[in-house]
Amino acid sequence: DADEMQVLFDAVLLVQAAMALAAKGHQVPKIAYFTFGTQDAPKRGAGSYLHAGLWGLARTVRLEDASLGLYCFDLDVPDPDDADATAQVILEQLGSIGGVETELALSGGPYVPRLCRCPVQPQKPMRLEMKSRGSLSNLREVPLRRTSPDADQVELRVRAVGLNFRDVLNVMDLYPGDPGNPGGDCAGTVCTVGERETRLRPGQDVFGIAPGCLQAFACTEALLMVPKPKRWSFEQMVAWPVTFATAEEAFVELAPLKLGERVLIHAATGGVGLVAVQLAQRMGATIFATAGSPEKVQYLRDRGVKYITSSRDVQQFEEDMKTFLQKDGAQDGVDVVLNSLSHEGFIPKSLSFLSKGGRFMEIGKRGVWSHERMLLERPDIQYEKIAMDWVMEYQPERFNLLLTRLLGQARSPKTVQHML
């Protein structure tokens, strides 16, 4: 009956102590978590999920540091309050610590988790339904009722779906307004076309945008789809539509980058960030980037980005940018900012490094400045809030143009490098 959060807190402290010992070169003792009836073992099922979070914690720790010996045992004890009987069962399992198996559930005998092949049963088409927002666990699989496409639409057999940060915000109820069902970037095969659609045909493989496409079949505006290049897979192409269109809109349409200009790309290892880096490099711009971890910083360095600082520590960002601009001889600052950060302080600090008459491209959804506020702070700059979901809904022809450009570049291996 111990408090669930207190137990988890104590378990985390135990792991932190073990990691501290390891960091100092000491031998680290093995750690075992014992629970009672939290696992759905054969013959008995799960009695209480109260402390099942310990198993999730243990799995996370193993992924982050495989050197730690962390074991989980779910005990089959008639009465956990019987201290003698419980102690006896625990003692019997201590010999298993240090073995190959890191998780074990007792139910008349020991059971260990195993992945096994599951035969695919013929079934009706399904879709993911979101009963309510606020948790990923609210998504559930339900039967899909297929509908015929409208006159300017196509129906797709969905082959792959790309998940964006927008989808996570949507499900977690953190996206402003009502974005509809999650799912957007999509690739598949045309099943049927609307009566006015003449560009696409049944049987054709396509990619683009199908709102709410986490389902076996989806209808979408034909203008939001273009033919898929044969050299790329369905899975590869769903990495591109929104990310490419957003970067193209920023660096080609609204704030055209010129040779030798300087651009600050925030969150440069995100989906849009990676495409933006490639576009900026192709245009001959000098890139200043932010990233959130040493691994991401190294990833950008490996791709030729010289100036990289933190996307989490605004003070570090300010100090590094001053140093970078001085080294690059850019006393006036950068010419373009591509922002997606909502952390306190990053927008005003980024503006302080934006040259007079510069261009500030905002692609974030949270903590975004209004045009009125930006006009008060920096009346000299061009400020654009890029919302591709708005473009898809109200200017599908414009989005089709962006996809068509992507289609042309996807056919050339020289222009598509790191996303596919």
The residue extents of the domains of the chain are 1-111, 126-238, 255-385
pLDDT at residue 298 is higher than 90? yes
* Residue % of the chain over a pLDDT of 70: 94
Q: Under 8 Å CB-to-CB from 199, ≥6 apart: which residues?
A: 222
Fold of 255-385: Rossmann fold (3.40.50)
- Predicted confidence (pLDDT) at residue 418 exceeds the cutoff of 70: no
Average pLDDT, rounded, for the chain:
89
Q: Which fold has domain 1-111?
A: Rossmann fold (3.40.50)
Per-residue pLDDT averaged across 192-201, rounded?
96
| Nearest 10 degrees: Cα torsion 177, 181, 183, 186 | -120
DSSP annotation string for 164-205: -HHHHHHHTT-SSS---SS--EEEEEEEEE-TT--SS-TT-E
pLDDT band at residue 358, thresholds of 50, 70 and 90? very high
pLDDT at 96 over 80: no
Say if residues 220 and 161 touch (Cβ distance below 8 Å). no
Greater pLDDT, 135 or 250: 250
Work out the average pLDDT over 133-137: 82
Cβ atoms of 228 and 187 within 8 Å: the answer is yes
Give the residue with greater pLDDT, 413 vs 359. Answer: 359
pLDDT: which is higher, 49 or 354: 354
pLDDT digits (tens, 9 = 90+) for 301-331: 999 999 999 999 999 999 999 999 999 998 8
Cα–Cα distances in angstroms (integers) from residue 129 to residues 66, 138, 144, 180, 182, in the given order: 36, 8, 10, 11, 9
Task: Indicate the pLDDT class of residue 189, thresholds 50, 70 and 90.
Answer: very high
DSSP 304: T
Element (H, E) at 398: helix 396-410
DSSP 80-149: TT-HHHHHHHHHHHGGGTTSS-SEEEESSSEE-------PPPP---EEEEESSSS-GGGEEEEE------
pLDDT of residue 192: 96
How confident is the model over 104-128, as pLDDT tens digits? 888 878 888 888 887 766 578 999 8
Please check the confidence at residue 395 and state whether its pLDDT lies above 50.
yes
pLDDT band for 412, please (50, 70, 90 cuts). low
Q: What is the mean pLDDT of residues 48-71?
A: 86
Q: Which among 160, 161, 216, 206 is positioned nearest to 183, based on CA atoms?
A: 161
pLDDT one-digit tens code per residue, 1-45: 567 788 889 999 999 999 999 889 898 888 888 888 888 777 765
Supply the angle between the helices 396-410 and 241-248 in degrees, to the nearest 10. 100
Q: Per the structure block, which two tokens stand in for 73? A: 């045992």
In the numeric block, the tokens 């599908």 are attached to 396
288, 264 Cβ separation under 8 angstroms: yes
**What's the CATH code, domain 126-238?**
3.90.180.10
Angle at the Cα of 193 (from 187 to 198), degrees rounded to 5? 100
User: In DSSP terms, which residues pair with 140 in a beta bridge?
Assistant: 129
Q: How confident is the model at residue 59 (pLDDT cuts 50, 70, 90)?
A: very high
Strand bridging mode 185-193 / 205-209:
antiparallel
Q: Span 54-67, mean pLDDT?
A: 89
Residue 390's SS3 state is: helix
Q: What is the spatial distance between Cα 144 and Cα 215, in angstroms, rounded to a whole number?
A: 7
Q: What is the per-residue pLDDT for 419?
A: 47
Please identify which residue in the block is written with the tokens 């140093």.
Answer: 323
Q: How far is CA 272 from CA 30, 117, 394, in A?
A: 43, 36, 21
- How far apart are alpha carbons 289 and 300 in whole angstroms? 8
pLDDT confidence band for 420 (50 / 70 / 90): very low
* Residues 151 and 111 sit within 8 Å (Cβ to Cβ): no
Q: What is the DSSP string of 207-248?
A: EEE-TT--BSEEEEEGGGEEEPPTTS-HHHHTTSHHHHHHHH
pLDDT tens digit sequence for 329-350: 988 999 999 999 988 799 999 9
The DSSP code for 45 is B
Q: In the structure encoding, which two tokens stand for residue 381, read together? A: 């700059």
Same fold, 126-238 and 255-385: no
| pTM of the predicted protein model | 0.71
Q: Rounded CA gap, 183 and 181, in Å?
A: 7
Tokens in use for 46?
Answer: 């799960």
| Alpha helices by DSSP H, 271-395 | 271-282, 294-302, 314-327, 346-352, 371-377, 388-394
